[in-house]
Amino acid sequence: MTEAIGWLSSFILLLTIGKQIYKQWQAGVSEGVSKWLFIGQTAASLGFSVYSWLLQNWVFVVTNVLMLLSALIGFGITLHQRRRSRGS
């Protein structure tokens, strides 16, 4: 039961973040989105991934690696949209 709660919570978090990234992509603009959000999320997710791996807590390893990936994708979208808006 404990593992199921962890995996369900991870799924909900990742679904929520994924929806936000998709919404950012669809909007076509990243105005007001700080690059420091992604820098902080990347650093924290990387640290938590290593920490979770050292503890062998696989729910948190998977969750934090995927959160790291979401930070990189979000940052990439932000950079892409800002470059595009400067070009117009």
What tens digit of pLDDT does each residue of 48-77 get? 999 999 999 999 999 999 999 999 999 999
Q: Among the CATH numbers 3.30.465.10, 2.60.40.10, 1.20.1730.10, 1.20.1280.290, which is that of 2-87? A: 1.20.1280.290
At 32, which helix (H) or strand (E)? none
Strand, helix or coil for residue 1: coil
Looking at the predicted structure, is the pLDDT value of residue 88 above 70? no
Taking the model in full, what pTM does it have? 0.85
Residue count of the chain, please give it: 88
